[in-house]
Structure 1
Amino acid sequence: MTTAGERTYPSIFVDDGVYAPQVDSFLLCNEIARRSSFSGARVLDMCTGSGIAAIEAARNGAREVFAYDISERAVACAGANAATNGVDVDVRVGTLRDAVDEGPFDVIVSNPPYVPSPHDPSGAGLHRAWDAGDRGRIVLDLLCSSAFRLLSRGGVLLMVQSEFSDTEESLRQLRLSGLRAGVVRRQTVEFGPVMYQRASWLEAMGKLEIDCRQEELVIIEGYFP
């Protein structure tokens, strides 16, 4: 088992090229663990990576868990981690469009790529687990616009992102789609290696105060009333 603070998380092993669980992963897992809405629910984990959120949902009583990622390596890793933790997760290579065909879902969880980047986020490589265009919103915009179609009535979306990928824009888009949306958890953290690499660029773009090396991570909830 992986332990962070006083909480025990699923046992997770990652291969080269798969995003290893970090603060944002644990923040999302904490939110999953504290909610009763997963019991008996049909759950989608979008951009599953190592599978930690999907596994946490299964451990919290989900009836079915589907986990999608565009990386074949991540899908293989997530499937192996689910087996190690003794839970049933249907892990698939696929996109949001594929997930829509499998929906609707009672709960959606996602830790998508959200780091603003001056580089092209396409191609292959581990960078695709975090690079999301110059606004950090390439995947967030797709997720926000698709959530209403993916959810059943009464369903809930829980996703994690950084303040640097525009929290208010995510809330605006979710509300425009017909969901009720708000921030349910916040945590200020020190920059990790990727954000340190981006700091000078973010300063030059006016997105980061000079010498600031912290960011606020948030869990956004979208609710289908």
Structure 2
Amino acid sequence: MGMSGEIPLITPPGVYAPQQDTELLMHALARERVGPSTDVLDLGTGSGALALRAARLGARVTAVDIDWRAVLTTRLNALLARRRVIVRHGDLTAAVHGRTYDLVVSNPPYVPSPALRLPSRSPERAWDAGPDGRVFVNRVCDEAPAALRAGGVLLLVHSALCGTRPTLRRLARSGFEATVTDRAFVPFGPVLSSRRTWLRRQGLLTDENDDREELVVIRAWQS
């Protein structure tokens, strides 16, 4: 059953299926004041799970993904759920240039990868984010201010493997106040398990955390 609630989400091969990070961000989303007057932007929507949850809360929702398969999947899931979601194809906020929102949510790719080049095809495109895992996290931190209205909020989820403090510092440089609101420890999946030796060589793993990762949701607002 998909995490959007009412009906199962369609998640074809190559499209990121909702997992613990999606669920953690949904809990954070549920605490925000979201209603018919709220404009929400979902960056890196994947299957559209977060976009549909925001739509069910009554928000006006725009979802963005750079992968055409994800765009079409989100459109189909919105149709099946009978929810209105505007879905744009594009590279993060470039797809909605000049528009602003009350709430931006993002579950971007954040898995550290030994590959020097970012993948251009699914499925790795949905999670690989450079050797430090921060390529897209950094971009969301840098681009969110221009996409948010005064008093707007950013909700961002990623793994602590790519650094929680660097995210908080980067958001501060972008003019945000930010704090970690949610944490969860989850077992390594197949991707991280296959990279355990490389992650240890990179200094991203210790003996205490070589079989699970910490997920964090960061809430940021403009001070």
Partner in structure 2 of residue 124 of structure 1: 121
Moved over 4 A (4+): 7-10
User: What TM-score, normalized by structure 1, do the two folds share?
Assistant: 0.92
**Is the contact made by 1:100 and 1:149 (CA closer than 8 Å) also made in structure 2?**
no
Match of 2:71 in 1: 75
Cα deviation, residue 180, structure 1:
0.9
Q: Matched residue of 1:44: which SS? A: strand
Q: Does 1:184 align with 2:181?
A: yes
Q: What is the distance in 2 between the residues matched to 1:26 and 1:213?
A: 20
5+ residue gaps, structure 2, are none
Closer/same/farther in 2, CA of residues 82 and 102 from structure 1, 3 Å limit: farther
- Alignment identity in percent? 43
Amino acid at match of 1:212: D
Structure 1 unmatched runs, 5+: none
Question: Hey, what does 1:19 align to over in structure 2?
Answer: 16
Q: How many residues align?
A: 221
2:91 corresponds, among 88, 95, 114, to: 95
Residue 98 of structure 1: how far off its partner (Å): 2.1
Describe the shift of the 1:8–1:89 C-alpha distance in structure 2 as closer, same or farther (beyond 3 A). Answer: closer
Question: Secondary structure in 2 aligned to 1:36?
Answer: coil
Task: Report the TM-score when normalising by structure 2.
Answer: 0.93
1:41-72 C-alpha deviation (Å, 9 max, x unpaired): 1110000000000101111121x211010000
Tell me the secondary structure at the aligned position of residue 137 of structure 2.
helix
Residue in structure 1 matched with residue 219 of structure 2 by the alignment:
221
SS in structure 2 at match of 1:49: coil
Matched, 1:58 2:55: yes
1:107 matched residue in structure 2: 103
Q: 2:136 aligns with which of 131, 136, 139?
A: 139
Whole-Å separation in 2 of the counterparts to 1:21 and 1:55: 12
Q: Deviations over 1:57-89 (max 9, x none)?
A: 111121x21101000000000111111112100
Change beyond 3 A, Cα 1:163–1:26? same
Matches of 2:161 and 2:194, distance apart in 1:
14
Residues 125-158 of structure 1 deviation map (CA, whole Å, 9 limit, x = unaligned): 2101000000001111111011111100000000
CA contact (8 A) 1:9 1:56 kept: no
| Aligned equivalent of 2:193 | 196
The CA RMSD over aligned residues, in Å, is: 1.7
Of 162, 167, 185, the residue aligned with 1:165 is 162
Query: Is the Cα contact below 8 Å between 2:88 and 2:95 reproduced in 1?
Result: no
Does the 8 Å contact 2:34/2:54 carry over to 1?
no
